[in-house]
Chain A
Amino acid sequence: MTNFWICLLTLIGNLVWASGARTHYKDEYHEELFIKPFNGYVYTYFQFATIWETELKNNTFDHCHLFPRSLGELIQRHSVQELHISMTKGLWRHETWGYPVKPAPPGAELWAWFKPETNNVDDEWRSLAGALSGLLCASLNFIDGTNTISPKLSLRPTGAVLAEASQPHLRYAILPREIVCTENLTPWKKLLPCNLKKGLSALLNSDHIYNTAYHSLGIHFRQICLGSGCEKVGLELVLSVSLVYDLAIVGRFQTHWSIQRLFGQGLGRPCPLAKSTKIIIDVTSNRTDNQFTLKPLNKFDMMTSSRGGVTTRLAVMDASLHDSDSLYNIEFEYSRKKMFPVNVPPFVYASRYITGYGQEFGGITTKIHNRFWQPLKVILLENIPWFVPTYLHTLKVRHGDNDLKPLRIEFWPGKDRERPFCLEVMLEIPARSVVTVSIEFDYAFLKWQEYPPDANHGFYMGAASITAVLPSARNYTAPPRDKTLLIDSINSTRTGHLIRVTTKTLIITLPTPDFSMPYNVICLACTVVALAFGPLYNITTKKFVIIKNEKKGLIRELLAKVKKLFSKESPAEAERPSSHEADDIRSEECSEGRLKSE
């Protein structure tokens, strides 16, 4: 009965709102918060989704309603068809945390699909990155040809594309060294229709979201189908924030936690522009592990979602029903003090490290784990900077002691100062096993101007990623690809569940010179040339004359000099004797020669 009333109330709410500006724009906005407790960690994922029923034309974004115009203008100007940005600090630990809703490697990641008819994709890509760097206060302007790849296998457009349309152009880049902080959150939140003033976004207080173990801001734009038969198309913009709180830090070693403890404040009124505001909590672990109680329990609907052979228990709350100015809290109280639940790792995860020592025998090794009971096909994407020249013949794929033959290899060799190396390996990993993919590289010398400030810190190598389609939805949290909202993922079984596992970034130490070297080299070279020039010049232009050595003591010589000084007063006698003495070559420079011959 209560369920029915909730449905009815939301329906009424929708009817009232539908009479507003939305009738002219056909767009809607949804807010969702997904919470999943892990071992001593809490994953909170905010999703702010705008769905706009319109086609992507050249002037679509001239008139915007809920869609942020500034972002729309960039999409329009650079003829972008699909855009994904993530700015992340920290590493998502797949082994213990499972799969995030939106995967993101450490640092900044940007990939975009440009419309097939785009003429100058590389220029558009560069200026898009530059404009985004202004929009988001991030160093995305450092994206250029030297760190951009266009993978062939790993990434596919996630949005709806016409079947007969020609392929759009993909550009992908990672800035592994990018540090994400409040200066990125402030411009990011301006893209939300309700700012941070109302609704779930009001929880995003920069005081409390930067003490997390992992945080990631995301912007994802794509075209989608509306309706089951794709009769209508629309645009989808998902702004997301993923946060993983370490309860040891947040809870000060107390096991129970709450929204207020995580975010420093309670929940308030919903955003008046949002069509739905949902809080979804994954309470599956409640039945097996350390039991917890959710408060206030009566506001939640318990749902059981069976998806891809896995059953999860979800507590869903409709936060749009809260209609007073008071703030409320959601609390978790555990029955026991300490919790050490059994960790169930996901089916596919990976680790990656550098091999070799000093500056020799450099290599990258990626270990891919398959814990599924069947062989799985995965695609490994390596994005290797140009200053780490990699050799394809050294690629080794090993399973235990045996070599494994990759199903397909795509290698796009890099060029110095122009483009990075891009390696894609499609593999079939045997059931319940670990496969090691390794490739060797050299350490290149850079030009002196190419070193960044603090060059001894090392050079970052962006994360690799592993794409796979899992038959089971264990540890899987993302909504199905044809849906936008998390609430739609309940009971949504699809044939496969696409995952992208991102790995660690690596740091390598390149040979780093002493930076005063160029000037020293110039000075030294000039000095050497000058030193060589002197004798050469003397030999060719001067004659060595041997003059009879009149031995004089030191005192006599000094006396003679003094005498000479005084005799200068009578200039007529001063230099005459010497000028007539030698032949015509003799001149004032010969005095130098004489000194040398002495």
Chain B
Amino acid sequence: MVAGMYRMGAAISFAVMLLIIGIPLWWKTTEVHRAALPYRQIESIDPSNITIQMKIYVSSPVDRFNELAKIVESTFSEHTVLKVALVPFKIPSSEAVSFAMLEKSSAWIPSDTVGNLILVQVPSISDHDIVVNNGRVIYFTPNADLHTIATTVKDQILQDSRLQNKIESIVSPESARSSDSDIQKAMRASPDYDVIVSVVNSEPSRIKIDWALKADLKRYLQPLMDQIDDVSSHAVKSQWLYLLDLGEVPKRDSAGVNVISYSQLPHIITPLEKKLGFGISRNPCVHLVLYVVSCAQTPMKFLSESGDYVDSMISPLWGGIQLLNPSDEYCANGTSLVPNSKEVIGLFTSQFHSLLGISQQVSEGPVHFIRPIGPLLSTWALDLLYRTRIVEQITSASLTLKSLSKLLGEIGNIVINEDVAGSINLAVEHVTKAKTLLSQGKLVDALYFSKSAFSASEQAFSNPSLLALLYFPDDQKYAVYIPLFLPIMIPVLMSLKRIYSGVFSEKSTF
């Protein structure tokens, strides 16, 4: 009887050792390391739901203000992203307000204007009824049509539909409206960009170019880069390339112009790209290429879609090319060609504006836009860029987080190390923070957090450690251990029944 008890004890201890200690230990030691992730929080993020709160300060008589408030409410009713609040505001001035006086000083402007707008009624403006200045101020005269003001603000300055489209194009790219070309052209968000200006001289034996490119870029292009530094930092670089062909043979048309047709345009980038040397950069690159046409091919023009001669083209997300046709004097006499920096870099600047997704607003009817100085963007356009980037970064970050959490949830043997988990946690936290800040109307802070959320989520998604064990699936693990487990487990499992009945019968005897 005692021996029987021992045997029973032995069987029980075998079962305990193997089933209760052994298997969990084996499971734990061969398990893939997966750090805890905030799955629930990620689940609750809605990528397409972003609200930006903004204010429009209005300085006008009370009845005009009330009227405007009504119109604005009805005009902006279809806004989904921007929530606009009208705030009455009085200009602290001893004199009577006038357009010229207000334009001269900026002391009267309220302090929290970033992301907001100011509407000011002035007694009169020469030539126009409504004037949008470089800052965030819109002046209007007493006889300006309030509907026009509201639609101008809605369609040209705030452009809520654009933000909507941006979100839509990220969330469901296939269903996005392709008509909005600005969105298609715009560069994707990235914390750093390299802007590479390349001067391509296709015939250095005959054309000499004399151009202080470095200094001119610093003078004409750098201010723009400094202005948008908060959005992403752009490093301006330049290089000279020689003896490069466009790779497409231009056709001589009836006017004696060598034209590269619209359908040929996509093919001229590849031969150029071979030498542009972008692959070495760590950041995405924007190329601005000045192509100096060889003497034999001059004059060369691109044909636009509608069949017009143009000197420049933009390839969305890649950059822009412009042609420089040297006149005969440079070809024949060997005189040094000095490009007009202002013109050439001015064209680069406007190409860069469209690559950023900002189109130049044209004055139309009673509305007049004051043109910004040099390459700079108007402040309201900068606000627009901020909003677009914030929306893009938050939406992409949330989508990346969602698909990453889905992927990690579905495939069990992906390693999640602390780095990845840290990035994901940071991204989640910053997405939430950026959204909160947006609903408070703090644009600059929101931009900062959205940027860091975006790069953290990208970093987590593309972390190489995720792939470490992807090729060692679980079934192989079982295959390796089955020669051990099968012969050991059969007697132990079979003894379970006996242990059960033994213990049961023992109890019944007591």
Partner of A70, one of B210, B238, B280, B498: B280
Residue pair A585, B7 in contact (C-beta under 8 Å): yes
Residues of the B chain whose Cβ atoms lie less than 8 Å from the Cβ of A190:
274-275, 277
Q: Which residue of A lies closest to B13 (CB)?
A: A540
A530 touches B4 (CB 8 A): no
Of residues 461 through 506 on chain B, the ones whose CB sits less than 8 Å from some CB of chain A are: 480-481, 483-484, 486-488, 491-492, 494-495, 497-498, 501-502, 505
Stretch in A59-67, A91-99, A369-377 touching the partner: A59-67
Taking the closest CB of chain B, its distance from the CB of A425, in whole angstroms, is: 39
- 0/1 per residue, A51-85, Cβ < 8 Å to B? 00000000000111110111001100100000000
Q: How many residues of A contact B (CB 8 A)?
A: 52
Q: Report if A537 contacts B (CB, 8 A).
A: yes
Contact of B243 among A62, A74, A194, A589 (CB under 8 A): A194
CB pair B488 A542 closer than 8 Å: no
Q: Tell me how far the C-beta of B233 lies from the nearest C-beta in chain A, rounded to whole angstroms.
A: 14
Q: Is A587 an interface residue (CB 8 A)?
A: yes
CB nearest to A272 among chain B residues: B205
Q: Of A23, A197, A523, A587, which is within 8 A of B501 by CB?
A: A587
B491 adjacent to A537 (CB under 8 Å): yes
Report chain B residues within 8 Å CB of A74: 280
B10–A541 CB distance below 8 A? yes
Most buried by B among A63, A131, A195, A533: A63
For residue A20, which residues in chain B have a CB less than 8 angstroms away from its CB?
Answer: 204, 208-210, 336
Check B484–A529 contact: CB distance below 8 A.
Answer: yes
**Chain B 189-208, CB within 8 Å of chain A: the 1/0 string?**
00000001000000011001
With A273-B242, A584-B502 known as contacts, the answer to whether A21 contacts B211 (CB < 8 A) is yes
Q: Does B212 interact with chain A (Cβ within 8 Å)?
A: yes
Residue of A66, A534, A540 ringed by the most chain B CB atoms within 10 A: A540
Q: How many residues of B contact A (CB 8 A)?
A: 52
Can you list, as one digit per residue, whether each of B276-295 has a CB less than 8 Å from chain A (1) or not (0)? 01011110000000000000
A402 in the interface (beta carbon within 8 A): no
B204/A272 in contact, CB under 8 A: yes
Q: Does A522 contact B (CB under 8 A)?
A: yes
A21 touching B240 in the complex, CB below 8 Å, given contacts A134-B279, A533-B488, A541-B14: yes
Contact A534 B210 (CB under 8 A): no
Q: Is B173 part of the binding interface, using a Cβ–Cβ cutoff of 8 Å?
A: no
Residues on B with C-beta less than 8 A from A542 are: 7
Mask: chain A, 13-52; 1 = CB below 8 Å from B; 0 = not: 0001101110110000000000000000000000000000
* Complex CA–CA separation, A168 to B237 (angstroms): 27
B484 touching A131, Cβ below 8 Å: no
Cα-based distance from A519 to B4 in the complex (angstroms): 41
Q: How far is the CB of A79 from chain B (nearest CB, A)?
A: 15
Verify B240–A64 contact, CB threshold 8 A: yes
Asked if residues B7 and A530 are in contact (CB atoms below 8 Å), the reply is: no
Q: Which residues on the B side are within 8 Å of A269 (C-beta)?
A: 205
Q: Which of chain A's residues have a CB closer than 8 A to the CB of B411?
A: none
A11 contacts partner chain B, Cβ-Cβ < 8 Å: no
Complex contact B277–A63 (CB within 8 A): no
Contact of B186 with A by CB under 8 A: no
In the complex the two chains form, is B210's CB within 8 Å of A21's CB? Answer: yes
A20-B336, A540-B7, A543-B7 as given contacts; A63 in contact with B280, CB under 8 Å: no
Give Cα A66 to B505, complex, Å.
Answer: 95
Bound together, the chains give a CA A534 to CA B243 distance in angstroms of: 81
- Name which residue of chain A comes closest to B240, CB basis: A65
Minimum CB–CB distance for A557 against chain B, Å: 25
Question: A534 contacts which chain B residues (CB < 8 A)?
Answer: 487, 491
Whole-angstrom CA separation of A527 from B492 in the bound complex? 16
B37 cross-chain contacts in A, Cβ below 8 A: none
Asked if A526 CB lies within 8 Å of chain B CBs, one says yes
Q: Does A531 contact B (CB under 8 A)?
A: yes
Residues of A within 8 A of B238 (CB): 62-64
Q: When the two chains form their complex, are residues A522 and B488 in contact, meaning their CB atoms are under 8 A apart? A: no
Please tell me if the beta carbons of B242 and A531 are within 8 angstroms of each other in the complex. no
Binary per-residue interface labels of chain B (1-34) against chain A in the complex, 1 for a CB within 8 Å, 0 otherwise: 1011001101100100000000000000000000
Give A526 to B357 CA distance when docked, in angstroms. 64
B336 proximity list for chain A (CB < 8 A): 19-20
Contact in complex: A583, B240 (CB < 8 Å): no
Contact B495 A589 (CB under 8 A): yes
Asked whether, in the complex, the Cβ of B494 is within 8 Å of the Cβ of A64, the reply is: no
Q: Is B213 an interface residue (CB 8 A)?
A: yes
Chain B residues with CB under 8 Å of A198's CB are: 205, 243
A505-560 interface (Cβ within 8 A of B): 519, 522-523, 526-527, 529-531, 533-534, 537-538, 540-543
Which residues on A sit within 8 Å (CB–CB) of B208?
16-17, 19-21
Smallest CB gap from A541: residue in B = B11
Q: In the complex, A533 Cα to B196 Cα: how many Å?
A: 71
In the assembled complex, the Cα of A186 lies from the Cα of B14 at a distance in Å of: 68
Contacts of A21 in B (CB 8 A): 208-211, 213, 240
Instruction: Tell me, rounded to whole Å, the shortest Cβ–Cβ distance linking B40 to chain A.
Output: 38
A194 touching B505, Cβ below 8 Å: no
B361 on the interface (CB 8 Å rule)? Answer: no
Chain B residues whose CB sits within 8 angstroms of the CB of A543 once the complex forms:
3-4, 7
The residue on A at minimum CB distance from B480 is A522
> Which residues from chain B sit less than 8 Å from chain A, CB to CB?
1, 3-4, 7-8, 10-11, 14, 196, 204-205, 208-214, 217, 235-240, 242-243, 274-275, 277, 279-282, 334, 336, 480-481, 483-484, 486-488, 491-492, 494-495, 497-498, 501-502, 505
Q: Which 9 A-B pairs have the closest CB atoms?
A: A70-B277, A526-B484, A530-B487, A272-B205, A20-B208, A526-B483, A540-B10, A69-B239, A63-B214
13 new A-B contacts at CB < 8 Å, known A69-B237, A193-B242, A523-B480: A19-B336, A20-B204, A24-B210, A63-B239, A134-B280, A522-B483, A530-B487, A534-B491, A537-B491, A541-B7, A543-B3, A584-B4, A588-B497
Give 15 pairs: A residue, B residue, CB < 8 Å, sorted on A. A19-B336, A62-B235, A64-B238, A69-B237, A134-B280, A135-B280, A190-B274, A190-B275, A195-B275, A269-B205, A522-B480, A529-B484, A537-B14, A541-B8, A542-B7
Interface residues of A (CB under 8 A from B): 16-17, 19-21, 23-24, 62-66, 68-70, 73-74, 77, 131, 134-135, 190, 193-195, 197-198, 269, 272-273, 519, 522-523, 526-527, 529-531, 533-534, 537-538, 540-543, 583-585, 587-589
